[in-house]
Chains A and B, each alone.
Chain A
């Protein structure tokens, strides 16, 4: 129908990288260095990707600040952080290769903060045994993006010199969205999408595609993620026949701002609580004392008086319950809100204003003070903040081969790196590991995509009817005028995910979420967008909705299936970690329109890597059977030692 009249711009590339954040740019650099003609597809302008939001730094065991640090220690920290659900090989590669990837950035022009002897400075961060995060103040993500962006420009300058054209071998398609991957049998043949600016369609014919589209946070009401995080890569992979793992694991921060709207989702650092901030409900009650679990009872204060003495005399008093682990704090906030004692905007009050002098707050929390003053005109020295759990990062993603980043499932030529891929972080990501993850696996995916393209005997062909179908799907929301507004649908989806598949999950709520997602699926299928094709955000959102929906279904299904609490998945009805569940990944695939869930055993950790942990620690994570194996292994080693 429409195809005869619709103009479609065609391009031929060797490697198409979807996503222009850290992982995408690093992958593209690698593919171009391997001599491949490479396209970078960016949903935003070049250099605006969500990577710029990363503040803490990039974790790499360079040992610049503490020379005892090495890849084994980093590996151990990563596995602990992920509660041993990580793909061990990915964690190993990441720990081994991240120093090289960081050093490489310096040759591209990056300027990290320095140590006294002129090396890259490294800072402490939660879960890392030694100071390990290379950083630039609190704008490390921006430095990373800008550096990679400028490296791409320098490659383009080389191409201009050699071929007379900046875009001879690497081109950035900014403000372009891919809506469909095209297949020839089980091989990737290309990608179809549209220019956001003009609404014109664009078809890439390419044998290899690297997904680097980031996360899924926009499916949640309160999130620190940008609008781009609609799970495009996750959904594209599913539809192309790839699989997703660990989708039940999302990282929430317990205290994100929920009010005012201008700062909704933005993180309020834990140090606000460490410096005296307390959580209160709408009745003005400091409620955390009611939520101290028995296992923590001995370490936490029972009265406000004792808790308040701790700030000045931590040796003789127990900690205030506001400093319980993240998930406990989040659970408490969640309970208060659900019991009707929440703040007007659906959070609780974090009050430091009534407890510390304005001067002291400004001195101890300068960046918090300035951030909220500047962005929202909220004076944290004068009023309480309204906070609640905010969606921050998705650990789950495309199931990939750890070494090459090639997607599993029944598709070839598809690669994934960064937040869109799964496995590296297990059930919980350590701060600082995402920036190094981007670099390590971005490079790998780009390199392997290039060699895959090299090894093909013939180019897969794009089928005409697949393109026609893609055009039809893309234009459908514009041609309907009876459906619902995409913004309403997005709000409803966010409400379902935020309320029912949020930080604390229960069987009943998850079941309800699934039935409401099924209703939403019907409504999304009939969405209509007003206006034309030219830079029409309503239309763009209408097309993103189906991706958000299918990814949300994966999360809800996997969350219902996993009957334990681990890392970024907390089940109120199964509060403990269960070693039996550690051996299982939940794998999502698409069958027609339906999300299918399967259990798959985790790969077995290599002996020398298990050997990096002591038995007492492993006992927390492993089943008795696995522990027996471990002991046999240690005994073997001891025997071998004796024989020598």
Chain B
């Protein structure tokens, strides 16, 4: 700053804030007029509030440098790190609304219970080291570790988790869906040059609910580390799963063996033969779209699903000569990739169109 202007000496302007105060039993937005100095971020303002009007205002933070991912909150409805949200990005007379992350249960004020993420982390199988390699003998090329390193930049701010519409307003999906953070964890291990576990993608599909993701890229947009979650993590994982599904041998195997007897394919492969059918030209016309909140349908879904019924087949997207999805955005007519579930499928699916194979289902 130039010497003649003295920022610290500038009279601080009062700015309007609306901050959600309350706990799990309820709460509301409260108005505050707070001093804001030049060069401050939203977290500075919250700290000032704590030091003055609201000493018990609850908020998480640690490093205040965008490196720890603690101070996630929703600012004017957008999930953000408050230490990286500059006050200068708002109009002087704009009221700034700060609310807790919507996807997770509120503990108090801006603090939410993010234990969902730690549970999902715990369910994701850990790195499997090569058993015959002694510490110090690991050899990897930089170019090979870089792909996983991108995902290891993750600061676990869980912004991608909170923005993901599969769970943002659908509590019921939480059990079956691990979320973008853990898709890239699976991708990271899948791409780890020395990880010996070979079924990371199948795991992502079968246990993490990768299939529920329809690549809207919201997660990539909010990532403060600029990790290309969708392009570099989710799509390659989906592509490979699809790749295997389109593999004629796998398809044949799934026809000959009962589901669960083909260890290298996922438990969903039996049902996914529908997709194989579609690519073979049997694709029936159907619609998965819309109606997800039809009360009648929901009542029916709660009454139980007949898993043996005929489910309409989705229209599979066009594939190239290698049986892969055309994933080049440059030549594609919309953002992101085509959905491997058929472009006429929207999410969330109406329950009557779901044909979910529960991993435990065939064990009895």
Contact = CB atoms under 8 A, between A and B. Distances in A.
Does B bind A?
yes
Interface of A: 44-50, 52-53, 62, 99-100, 103-104, 106-109, 111-114, 117-119, 121, 136-137, 139, 142-143, 146, 150-151, 153-154, 156-157, 166, 174, 197, 226-228, 259-263, 266, 280, 282, 284, 343-345, 349, 374-378, 383-384, 386, 485-488, 491, 529-532, 534-539
Interface stretch (B59-67, B272-280, B286-294, B340-348): B59-67
Contacts of B155: 52, 142
Contact of A106 (B88, B124, B138): B138
Contact of A197 (B56, B111, B124, B156): B111
Contacts of A266: 65
Contacts of B195: 109
B56 A532 contact: yes
A153 B145 contact: no
A384 B65 contact: no
A349 B83 CA distance: 24
A487 B8 contact: no
A217 to B, nearest CB: 12
A375 B55 contact: no
A530 B56 contact: yes
A345 B283 CA distance: 69
A537 B56 contact: yes
A118 B140 CA distance: 5
Contact of B68 (A52, A108, A532, A536): A52
Contacts of B66: 374-375
Interface in B1-55: 1-3, 6-9, 23, 37-41, 43-44, 50-51, 55
A146 B39 contact: no
Contact of B192 (A109, A383, A386): A109
Counting from the closest, the 7 A-B pairs by CB-CB distance are: A260-B39, A531-B56, A109-B127, A154-B126, A344-B8, A538-B55, A118-B139
B305 interface: no
Nearest to A121: B142
A289 to B, nearest CB: 18
A111 B39 contact: no
A436 B200 CA distance: 32
Contacts of A114: 140-142, 145
B135 to A, nearest CB: 4
A579 B145 CA distance: 48
Contact of A376 (B56, B86, B111, B139): B86
Contact of A261 (B44, B142, B189): B44
A62 B67 CA distance: 28
A46 B118 contact: yes
B327 interface: no
A486 B63 contact: no
A109 B140 CA distance: 12
Interface of B: 1-3, 6-9, 23, 37-41, 43-44, 50-51, 55-70, 83-84, 86, 88, 107-109, 111, 113-114, 118, 121-122, 124-127, 129, 133, 135-136, 138-142, 145, 148-149, 152-156, 189, 192, 195
Contacts of A261: 37, 39-40, 44
Given A153-B121, A537-B58, A111 B152 contact: yes
Contacts of A136: 149, 152
A384 B122 contact: no
Given A345-B7, A536-B56, A226 B64 contact: yes
Nearest to A345: B8
B51 A537 contact: no
A163 to B, nearest CB: 14
Contacts of B113: 197
Contacts of A153: 121-122, 124, 126
A104 B135 contact: yes
A531 B70 CA distance: 23
Contacts of B121: 153
B2 A344 contact: no
A111 B145 contact: yes
24 contacts: A46-B118, A48-B70, A48-B156, A50-B62, A52-B63, A52-B155, A99-B136, A100-B135, A106-B135, A113-B142, A113-B149, A121-B142, A157-B125, A166-B122, A174-B118, A260-B39, A263-B65, A344-B6, A378-B1, A386-B1, A530-B56, A535-B107, A537-B58, A538-B55
A228 B70 CA distance: 12
A375 B126 contact: no
A139 B153 contact: yes
Given A107-B129, A109-B126, A48 B69 contact: yes
A108 B127 contact: yes
A142 B140 CA distance: 20
B322 to A, nearest CB: 30
A383 B141 contact: no
Given A154-B126, A529-B55, 17 more contacts: A44-B60, A44-B62, A107-B133, A109-B127, A114-B142, A142-B152, A166-B122, A197-B108, A263-B65, A344-B7, A375-B83, A375-B84, A384-B2, A386-B1, A491-B51, A530-B56, A536-B56
